[in-house]
Structure 1
Amino acid sequence: MTTRRPAAEMSESIRHILRAKQHPARAVACPHCGAAPHRPCRVRSRNTVLTQPHPGRVSVWAQTVACCPTCQVTPTVPCHENGRALPTVHVRRYQEAEATAA
């Protein structure tokens, strides 16, 4: 009988290099399909994996990592317009988040 050796732990620097090709929004959970962080979004009805994350996931990621220059809010605070929270974030916040990720 052979014994299996436990898998070696992967260092965080190697894991980061391997994930460099993924969209940075995959760092957060998807509110649309329920995909866990660092897992791809899926279409549940067809059980297919999407190449790009859902727009809601990208919005949550941008809200998590970037300040919004349009409405002057800090990360994790939703964008607002005339005192009402928006369902998504401003375009400038997407640009800030992409600049932060690069």
Structure 2
Amino acid sequence: MTLHAGAPMPDSLRHFMRAKAHPARSVPCPHCGAAAHKPCRLRTTGRLLTEPHPQRISEWAQTTACCPECQVTPEVPCHDEGRALTTVHARRYQEAEATAA
């Protein structure tokens, strides 16, 4: 539990009440190294970004959703005929967004 302005709020509730933050912010960014629940930033200037990096969105989709395209479970990378992909299938993004909603 975190105390904020004198009122205790469970961390699980705080996660769902973040104002308009992309759900991908719940995982660390593999591109810029931003911690979970922190905004992505440019590695060169340190400027904060309003949207997460595509790599972070891909990581979030991989950790939260099963892929209907290649039939893998969460945490398992998508594959194409046995070759691991560096990104996830578009249908997995859709599944992750439906799960987050």
Query: What range describes the TM-score normalised by the shorter chain of this pair?
Result: 0.7 to 0.9
Residue 11 of structure 1 and its aligned partner are, at CA, apart by 2.3
Residue of structure 1 in register with 2:79 after alignment = 80
> Runs of 5+ in structure 2 lacking a partner?
none
- 2:9 and 2:56 map into 1 onto residues whose CA distance is 26
Residue of structure 2 in register with 1:64 after alignment = 63
- 1:67 and 1:37 map into 2 onto residues whose CA distance is 21
Residue of structure 2 in register with 1:27 after alignment = 26
- 2:10 and 2:66 map into 1 onto residues whose CA distance is 30
SS at match of 1:49: coil
Provide Cα deviations, 1:36-71, integer angstroms capped at 9, x if missing partner.
Answer: 000000002112100000000000000000000000
Residue 83 of structure 1 and its aligned partner are, at CA, apart by 0.4
Q: Which AA in structure 2 matches 1:67?
A: C
Kindly report the root-mean-square deviation, in angstroms, between the aligned alpha carbons of the 2 structures: 1.8
TM-score, with length taken from structure 2 = 0.87
Residue 10 of structure 1 and its aligned partner are, at CA, apart by 3.4
TM-score, with length taken from structure 1 = 0.86
Aligned residues: 97
Greater C-alpha Rg: 1
In structure 2, relative to structure 1, the CA distance for the partners of 1:63 and 1:17 (3 Å cut) is closer
In structure 2, relative to structure 1, the CA distance for the partners of 1:37 and 1:78 (3 Å cut) is same
The 5 Å alignment of 1:1-102 reads 9-12=8-11, 14-102=13-101
SS at match of 2:99: helix
> Runs of 5+ in structure 1 lacking a partner?
1-5
